[in-house]
Amino acid sequence: MSTLQVELVAADRRVWSGEAQAVSARSTEGDLGILPGHSPLLGVLVEGEVRIDTGDGRETVTIDTGFLSVDHDRVTIVAEQVDASSLSSGATD
Amino acid sequence: MGAQQRVYRQRSRSVQSMKKITRAMELIAASRVLKARQRVEQTTPYARAITRAVSAVATFSDVDHPLTTERENPTRAGVLIVTSDRGLAGAYSANVLKKSEQLRELLHEDQRTFVPYLAGRKAEGYYNFRQRPYETSWSGFSDAPTFEIAKEIGERLTADFIKGADEGGVDEIHLVYTRFINMVSQEVQVVRLLPLEVVEEDVSESGADLFPLYEFEPSGPQVLDALLPKYVTSRIYNALLQAAASELAARQRAMKSATDNAEELIKTYTRLANQARQAEITQEISEIVGGASALADAK
């Protein structure tokens, strides 16, 4: 099964990047779940939690407003501020 | 010790303590410029992601957004001038201000009013001294700008742009800042920030693969609405960071040449002091010899 290449980017740094099985975030229209093979999407995110399911664990971060783009299994989550205190260390490059 | 000698020694000592200060400033600037450059690099993923997203939306929805529409007869042009808070950075701030004056003349020829927005105490000082009015100013962050500052500036500029010239706002916004090329060269740049011209910078890198047919959530125009202000802020943030790196590099260079000059001066003063000492000795000897021979003659 293919995986998602996820990049979580804050205004002043790259917070997290790596492979994931699924990503979920809250968009203006409601909760949004991304699985591998998702069609290209550009969505506006509202304040809330972003969950990244890495297969052997789950990363949860809180973001303020931002946006998310999906194309060819590459997911980029962009937010101005990311609270990365809950991130498990080591995944950041 | 003779008076002449003492004067030279004093000067040499004062130059020595100045040298210590400039050397310290040089080292501080050198260590900070590294950090500033890293900060510029760290914001690249964000800038790239946002540029890509904005160009994607712009490609697929031909909506006219207020921030991208050219005004027909622009009468007032806002200019954000990014200078440093402190001096001792060579011609860094002077160059930016000089460029802004050129832009001012250019805009005048086009019958547009120059509306300055200032960043950095040096620019404030320049305008206050000449008693020229300015729209508003921000200062106190020039060597380490934060994203919050960029956001504040971005929001103010965007708001004034949307207001339009008729209601006291502006019709376009230019940005005068110093682009960091490398440690020895920084270039003053004038770019037009608003109305936006999307698509640039990263074209060469990602231009080959075309954008997929995106779905927009909630909708194209609304996504653009959310993205464009962020794009503006990201551009300003990048400009501030580049300016900070340039300022520190300029300061390092200025302080290095100041240190070199101090060394040169110390050398000159030491030579002069030695000469004075030797002259004194020679004089004393000739006085003793003269005195002795006078005594001998008297016998």
What domain range includes position A73? 4-83
Q: What is the mean pLDDT of residues B79-93?
A: 93
Chain A residues whose CB is inside 8 A of the B222 CB are 28, 44
**Does residue A17 form part of some domain?**
yes
**Does residue A92 form part of some domain?**
no
Q: Which residue has the tokens 């931002």?
A: A66
Question: Where residue A48 falls among pLDDT bands split at 50, 70, 90?
Answer: confident
Distance from CA of B256 to the nearest CA of A (A): 30
Q: Return the minimum-mean-pLDDT range out of A63-77, B162-176, B202-216.
A: B202-216
What distance in Å separates the CA atoms of residue B268 and residue B212, rounded to the nearest whole number?
70
Chain A residues whose CB is inside 8 A of the B53 CB are 42, 67, 69, 78
B126 touches chain A (CB under 8 A): no
Does the structure show a pLDDT above 90 at B287?
yes
Judged by CB atoms closer than 8 Å, whether chains meet at B217 and A42 is answered as yes
For the question of whether the overall pTM of this predicted structure is more than 0.80, the answer is yes
Do the Cβ atoms of B172 and B71 come closer than 8 Å? yes
**Does residue A91 form part of some domain?**
no
Q: Look up the CATH number of the domain holding residue A53.
A: 2.60.15.10
B218 touches chain A (CB under 8 A): yes
Q: What is the mean pLDDT of residues B265-294?
A: 95
**Average pLDDT in chain B:** 89
The residue with greater pLDDT, A12 or B242, is: B242
Amino acid (one-letter) located at A65: T
Distance from CA of B15 to the nearest CA of A (A): 42
**Does residue A43 form part of some domain?**
yes
**Taking CA atoms, what residue in A is nearest to B41?**
A13
pLDDT on residue B279: 93
**Does residue A88 form part of some domain?**
no
**Does residue A72 form part of some domain?**
yes
> Concatenated DSSP letters for B120-175?
SHHHHHHHHHTT---SEEE-S-TTS--HHHHHHHHHHHHHHHHH-GGGT--SEEEE
What distance in Å separates the CA atoms of residue B115 and residue B135, rounded to the nearest whole number?
6
**Does residue A28 form part of some domain?**
yes
Judged by CB atoms closer than 8 Å, whether chains meet at B42 and A41 is answered as no
Judged by CB atoms closer than 8 Å, whether chains meet at B46 and A78 is answered as yes
pLDDT on residue B199: 56
Does the structure show a pLDDT above 50 at A16?
yes
**Taking CA atoms, what residue in B is nearest to A71?**
B212
pLDDT on residue B166: 83
Does the structure show a pLDDT above 80 at B58?
no
What are the sequence ranges of the domains in chain B? 60-204+212-248
pLDDT on residue A59: 86
Q: How many beta-carbon pairs below 8 A join chains A and B?
A: 82
What distance in Å separates the CA atoms of residue B152 and residue B146, rounded to the nearest whole number?
10
**Count of structural domains, chain A:** 1
Question: Where residue B299 falls among pLDDT bands split at 50, 70, 90?
Answer: confident
**Does residue A14 form part of some domain?**
yes
pLDDT on residue B201: 47
Strand locations in chain B, DSSP E?
A: 76-82, 113-119, 136-138, 172-180, 186-194, 215-217
Q: Return the minimum-mean-pLDDT range out of B7-11, B74-78, B197-201.
A: B197-201
**Taking CA atoms, what residue in B is nearest to A77?**
B49
pLDDT on residue A14: 87
Distance from CA of B162 to the nearest CA of A (A): 22
**Taking CA atoms, what residue in A is nearest to B211?**
A71
Does the structure show a pLDDT above 60 at B52?
yes
pLDDT on residue B64: 73
Q: In the CATH scheme, what architecture does the domain B60-204+212-248 have?
A: 3-Layer(aba) Sandwich (3.40)
